[in-house]
Structure 1
Amino acid sequence: MDLEKSPPPQQQNPEGCLVVAIRIPVRIVVLVLVVPVRMVWDGLVVAGRFLNDTVFRPLGRALLWVGRAVFVWPFVGLWRYVVVPLGRGLAWLGNVLVVVPCVWLYRYVLTPVGHAIAWVARGIGAGLAWIYVRLLTPLGHGFMWVLRGIGTVLAAIAVGAYGVVAWLVRYLLVVPALWLYEWVLTPVGRAIAWCVNGIVRGIGAALYWTARILIVLPAVGLWRYILAPVGRVLAVIGREIGEALGHAWRVAGRISRAVGRFLGTLLRWIFVEPVRWVYRSVLTPVGHVVRDAVLRPAAGAARAVGRVARQALESARESVRRARADVRQMLFGRPPEPEEVVRREPAGAETRTLGSSTTALTKD
């Protein structure tokens, strides 16, 4: 039973007396102002569609055809019949005059020269490698052994000197600096930081309360008691004006449609129906009479004349053909008749029977 119950209607927000008082005058004023605009707009739309169908679209097609004839087709013909053959000819000349000689030069001149240079470079590299391995490497090893010994001696001397210097630096500089940092600089720095922190906090609190009293509280009061109510009223007025514009635009559309239908009906009864009656009652019977009395007999006569002319042309062709045959026979004689060739295979397919055969060996 709960499923069959209809859902409760949604509660709408109640509208105040200000909204109701603003809505009716605004809608009346907006309707009076919007109806002429909507009728002008509908008239412009109808005129634009008519111009588009009768003027702009045919004009655009004509301009498109003229553009193709003036710009596209000449360039296409130039490309197809001039540029492409010329390019192919230049490509063939370039291949014959540049590519083939360059390939021959690379294959039969540069490649052997490069191979010779590479062979010489490999020989020089092998000689330099032998010098490096047999001469320079032993000399380098000996020089490094001498330097390693000298470095060992110098490192032993430096270690002893470093220990003495490190002890002096530790007890003359590091220990007094640590004592000064721990027992003098650290307490003084903490005291200075505590004083600066207290001063900054006091200045921050004073600035906060000053800004709150002088700027924030007046701005909050201005927003809460002046700007927010005025904004709500302006929002209601703007919403009502927008809804009134939409409602007036729809109503004006219906009025414009009714006026357009009335004008269309008036135009149809004044112009279209008389023209239609004249075409149906006057021009159509006259056209039928003209067709039956003039055009059809004229067409029959034209067909008869054409038939006679075709027969005369056929007779003339046949006479010319016979005359040519007679002249050819008088000049060259009668052509020899083709001899009949006897063929071994039968001319047509014969019916098979029980006493006959179609093979060449058993054929009767």
Structure 2
Amino acid sequence: MDLEKPAAPPVPQPRDSGPEGCLVVAIRIPVRIVVLVLVVPVRMVWDAFVVAGRFLRDTVLRPVGRVLFVWPLIGLWRYVVVPVAKALGRLGNVVLVIPTGWVYRYVLTPLGHALAWAARAVGDGLAWLYARVLTPIGRAVLWVLTPVGLAIAWCAKGIGWLLEKAVTGIGLGLYWIARILLVLPALALWRWVLVPVGKVLAVVAREVGDALGHAWRVAGRISLAVGRALGTLLRWILVEPVSWFYRTVLTPVGHVVRDAVLRPVAEAARSVGRATRLALASARESVRQARADFRRMVFGEPARTEAVDRREPAGRETRTLGSSTTALTKD
């Protein structure tokens, strides 16, 4: 058993923003006050819309969406799209896959083999032509044109060196012109104007962002407190009086009505129902008897058939296991 206490999780340390100047302190407090005043109504309206939207989503939009979209789409997918897709798949297999496989197997494959054999033969002929004809001709031409090629290469090298020097000089001049006219002024503008202005704007933006976050959190707490107060007030004004009225008035009245009115009425209804069923049963029996009497009066008594005793004879005439004489074979 480990008796050592687990190490405590590291506590996040606040961000060290360095020493704050007078500009930061002078900007922070007014910005936070103004932002808090502007954000509190927005946050309260936002929380109200969120609560209303959740209630509307849970009570209206979700059931309506299920009835209007989810169930029809499920039925369409299950009973229309899937059978149609299966039918199209089978049709495509019969119309496209099987004929395509037959064409590939019995037409394209032999044709491809024939084209490959022809290409191989042509390649062998071209290789023989390259090795036996073109190679000797190329070697002869190269032996004749080598001095001319060297001369042309030396001239091209000299021209390239001259062009390189000219381009280098022109590029160096353009570099210094651009550096003096563009780079140095832009560097001075960046260093002495844009950087200080950017630092000031960064401080302002950071403080505004922190103020917005702080104001949003404070507005959330204020909105929560206001919502709880409104909920408590609503419970005091509406819920608890309705609950008290239901417990102290409607429930006893309902019990009295149930015991004094509904139960006697139900018992009387059950008694009437039983009496009605008995009367209907006796009426049906009387009608049945009258029909039987009328049938006997018109057609006479029906012929009676003698009952045949199909049981085995009792006593000594019964079949036994030790005797070969049975009741069926006995005289």
For the aligned pair, the TM-score class normalised by the smaller chain equals 0.5 to 0.7
1:340 equivalent in structure 2 = 308
Q: Render the CA deviation track for 1:227-247: whole Å, top value 9, x for unaligned.
A: 233333323332332232222
* Counterpart residue type for residue 190 of structure 2: W
Q: Render the CA deviation track for 1:139-191: whole Å, top value 9, x for unaligned.
A: xxxxxxxxxxxxxxxxxxxxxxxxxxx9xxx9xxx97x8767666x5665444
Give the 3-state SS of the residue equivalent to 2:234 in structure 1: helix
Q: Render the CA deviation track for 1:228-267: whole Å, top value 9, x for unaligned.
A: 3333332333233223222221211111111111112112
Q: Report the TM-score, using the length of structure 2 for normalisation.
A: 0.60
Q: Render the CA deviation track for 1:96-155: whole Å, top value 9, x for unaligned.
A: xxxxxxxxxxxxxxxxxxxxxxxxxxxxxxxxxxxxxxxxxxxxxxxxxxxxxxxxxxxx
Alpha-carbon distance between aligned partners in 2 of 1:47 and 1:187, rounded to the nearest angstrom: 87
Q: Render the CA deviation track for 1:192-238: whole Å, top value 9, x for unaligned.
A: 33322221111111112222222223333333333233333323332
1:117 equivalent in structure 2 = none
1:290 equivalent in structure 2 = 257
1:147 equivalent in structure 2 = none
Which of the numbers 23, 43, 46 marks the counterpart of 2:48?
Answer: 43
Instruction: Give the alignment of 1:76-225 within 5 angstroms.
Output: 188-225=155-192
1:303 equivalent in structure 2 = 270
**1:50 positional shift:** 4.5
**1:312 positional shift:** 0.2
1:25 equivalent in structure 2 = 30
**1:36 positional shift:** 0.7
Q: 1:249 to 1:206 in 2, by over 3 A?
A: same
* Counterpart residue type for residue 15 of structure 1: G
* Counterpart residue type for residue 30 of structure 1: V
Instruction: Give the alignment of 1:323-362 within 5 angstroms.
Output: 323-330=290-297, 331=299, 333-337=301-305, 339-342=307-310
Alpha-carbon distance between aligned partners in 1 of 2:43 and 2:211, rounded to the nearest angstrom: 14
Alpha-carbon distance between aligned partners in 2 of 1:310 and 1:5, rounded to the nearest angstrom: 81
1:15 equivalent in structure 2 = 18
Q: 1:361 to 1:322 in 2, by over 3 A?
A: same
Q: Render the CA deviation track for 1:314-340: whole Å, top value 9, x for unaligned.
A: 111111222223333442533534633
Q: 1:301 to 1:187 in 2, by over 3 A?
A: closer
Matched, 1:255 2:203: no
Give the 3-state SS of the residue equivalent to 2:260 in structure 1: helix
**1:14 positional shift:** 3.8
Percent of pairs with identical residues? 58
Which of the numbers 187, 195, 199 marks the counterpart of 1:232?
Answer: 199
Q: 1:218 to 1:340 in 2, by over 3 A?
A: farther
Question: How many residues end up aligned between the 2 structures?
Answer: 250
Q: Render the CA deviation track for 1:59-81: whole Å, top value 9, x for unaligned.
A: x379849x98xxx9xxx9xx9xx
1:159 equivalent in structure 2 = none
Alpha-carbon distance between aligned partners in 1 of 2:16 and 2:198, rounded to the nearest angstrom: 19
Alpha-carbon distance between aligned partners in 1 of 2:172 and 2:292, rounded to the nearest angstrom: 133
Matched, 1:274 2:236: no
With CA pairs under 8 Å and 6+ residues apart, which has the higher RCO, 1 or 2? Answer: 1
Give the 3-state SS of the residue equivalent to 2:173 in structure 1: helix
Q: Which runs of 5+ in 2 are unaligned?
A: 1-5, 81-136
